[in-house]
Amino acid sequence: MLKNDCLRLLRFFTGFACTVLIFFSCNRKPTTNYSGWPVYGGNKEANHYSSLNQIDTNNVTQLKVAWTYHTGDADSMTQIQVNPIIIDSTLFAVSPKLKLFALRAATGKEKWVFDPMNDSTVKKERNFGMNVCRGVTFYSDNKDSQRIFYSANSQLYCIDGKAGIPVKSFGENGKIDLHRDLGRDASKLYVAMTSPGIIYKDMIIVGCRVSEEADAAPGFIRAYDVHSGKLRWIFHTIPQPGEFGYDSWDDKDAWKHIGGANAWSGFSLDEKNGILFAPMGSASYDFYGGRRTGNNLFANCVLALDAATGKRIWHFQTVHHDVWDRDLPTAPVLVSIKKDGKTIDAIAQTTKSGFIFLFNRKTGESVYPINEVPVPDQSELTGEKLSPTQPVPSFPKPFARQLLAEKDLNDLVSDSSYADIKNRLVHYHSGNMFNPPSKEGTVIFPGFDGGGEWGGPAYDPLTGILYVNASEMPWILTMVDVKNKPQKAETNLQAGTRIYNTSCMNCHGPQREGSANYPVLIGINKKYNQQQFEQIVSSGRRMMPAFKQLDKEEINALASFILDNKKEQSRKFIAPQKVEDSWTDLPYSSTGYNKFLTKEGYPAVKPPWGTLNAIDLNTGNLLWKDTLGDYPELKAKGIHSGTENYGGPVVTAGGLLFIAATSDAKIRAFNKRTGKLLWEADLPAAGFATPSVYEVKGKQYLVIACGGGKLGKKTSDAYVAFALNQ
């Protein structure tokens, strides 16, 4: 016992000494208590930081599995992207099929489970969409009331945190339909929440995920009373007549028809000053803007709102008239920057393109100059009108590569494979990250899922260092002509093919071969019958939105094509009577989210394909860069390649940075000062999520959701917690 006690004391004082050294070297200390994990991302500043230091650089190799919790509801298509929160020794999280649960955070023992599928409304409608869920929101009145808010299907639920049952006084029997309060009828459109809302005083503020097609709902930001569910304020992200930004849309009726411009990736909050920060998505349709010409405010903006009223304080648009799907993927982080002898309270916004934008929190003034750079502005697509310039930060430098040239191509493959990607690159549009979408194919690099993604960065308030993981995968955007209107005397096969090309090809590819994270549809008639297919199309599933705008005849025709039902294919298609809408009747579509790969299935660019970056925001300098993740077969040859990654890092006062995120199903710990890998452990499946760090009765834990399911990896239903053996 004496020996063990001495070791514990030694670890304690070592960790304490590290913290003291950092403190005095930086002459700063956090003004917030970061010892818990009560909010998605750790806290409302979204910095993924923990002041706990029991686990440090000296003892991290002694981490062991403390507990594992199995939700019991994973299947071949599920994922878990949840960052759990911990309140008073209780962990709250969500299962692959959207069950909300509470665990004892020290043991993983289940306290209660709420299953939205038992909701009488869901049972009655038989129409439940499996949206991605990344976390939950906690509210307490500091008395007896504890409420957990989270989204399942298109509903925002309010659940009693102690009993695990709906709070009937909120909304309609404990929930709000997210289709409401959008200013026009969105009942047949896809609306859900991926990232959780955020609490300001007695309001829950929510964004939403909407379709990325031409028929998308608008992505307005809304605040609801946490007690009653009544709407307190709304911000029109697509401005209406008389509102700021309305003139940025050439067609003055755009607000009636255009969708998107949604805060799907969550929020951060300067609670002291009452400022809400919202990262905005792009306007729909993603890749063709001929029906929405203009700069399209407030799409692709960093948006600062008065959290009490929803009034705009300032904004900055990071991409004008976006046709590259460059929506902002994560909430900006609240940071403090020393510049010219002064401390600036700022925000740092990471982007898919690898840029970091830095702004004064209160004024929106950029910390470093942002240049409007001339870009290619001539499109071969009829009706398109591109912006002649795009904003490019002068500092810090990008944390991911942004151009793909012949010298950058993957030369680790066979000669024939290299010759293939070299020949393909010649025929693609490359050389400028803002090249317009084209029929020949345009290189998007970093791709649609990176550099920085929804996992978000971590920020150490003691040192001013920002840590961000990046994916460096090139993708190819190819546009094709489409015919939307029914032809005379169509068969179900002809109509189904047409509907597929306008509604499904963008994700599943022109030959139903699948693309990126979207599955192959060839042969699914062996898995789904007509009734099951119709239900999935009507309700949606995970990344797939609901297609409620399709009539029964259209769904039947689509089913005949995809399910290869010969009998139905030959029948005459009876076109439903619809009011023509030129806003959604687009002349072009993309062929899907297609990665630029070698014949062997590796990225066409040289490694690294996944990186971890440490950037000093006080100087703008890159302190270190490490490769993140491995392909086992390449690692065996001594090649440290990195992998695409989903989920963010966590940084601690113990000198550590924890991250999972990679496709090789590992969680790792790095020395936050040097980038040296100190520890890694195998997970039941890939942890495509952000870890949480917390403490129960003096013991520090690290927990990660291990859902897999992306990048073709196996799925799992496990949450795994690690701790020191004490």
List b or e across 630-650, with b for residues whose CB sees 16 or more CB atoms inside 10 angstroms. bbeebeeeeeebbbbbbbbbb
List b or e across 482-506, with b for residues whose CB sees 16 or more CB atoms inside 10 angstroms. bebebeeebbbbbbbbbbbbbbbbb
CB 529 within 8 A of CB 609: no
Model confidence pLDDT, tens digit, residues 75-111: 988 999 999 999 999 999 999 999 999 999 999 999 9
Contacts of 89 (CB under 8 A, 6+ apart): 104, 105, 106, 696, 697
Domains of the chain: 486-579 (1.10.760.10)
Q: How far apart are the first and last CA of the chain?
A: 11
Residue type, 412: L
- Count how many Cα atoms sit within 13 Å of the Cα of residue 319 in the half-sphere of its side chain: 29
Sheet arrangement for strand 203-206: 198-200, 203-206, 221-225, 231-235
- Tokens in use for 585? 């009747």
Name the 3-class secondary structure at 139. strand
Quote the pLDDT of residue 23. 40
Quote the pLDDT of residue 603. 98
- Reported as type and span, the H/E element at residue 506 is helix 505-508
Listing DSSP states for 327-341 in one string gives ---SPPEEEEEEETT
Asked whether the CA dihedral 188, 191, 192, 197 is positive or negative, the reply is: negative
Phi, psi of 716 (to 5 degrees): -155, 165
Q: Give the bridge partners for 459, in sequence order.
A: 466
Query: Where do we find the tokens 């452990």?
Result: 681
Contacts of 637 (CB under 8 A, 6+ apart): none
Using 70 as the pLDDT threshold, list the residues of the chain that sit under it: 1-31, 120-128, 515-517, 539, 541-543, 548, 577-582
Model confidence pLDDT, tens digit, residues 3-52: 444 434 444 444 444 444 344 333 445 557 899 999 999 999 999 999 99
- Tokens in use for 94? 């969500």
Number of H helices, E strands in the chain: 10, 41
Residue type, 703: V
CB 622 within 8 A of CB 471: no
3-state SS of 215-263 is CCCECCEEEEECCCCCEEEEECCCCCCCCCCHHHECCCCHHHHCCECCC
- Tokens in use for 610? 């996944």
Q: Give the bridge partners for 444, in sequence order.
A: 475
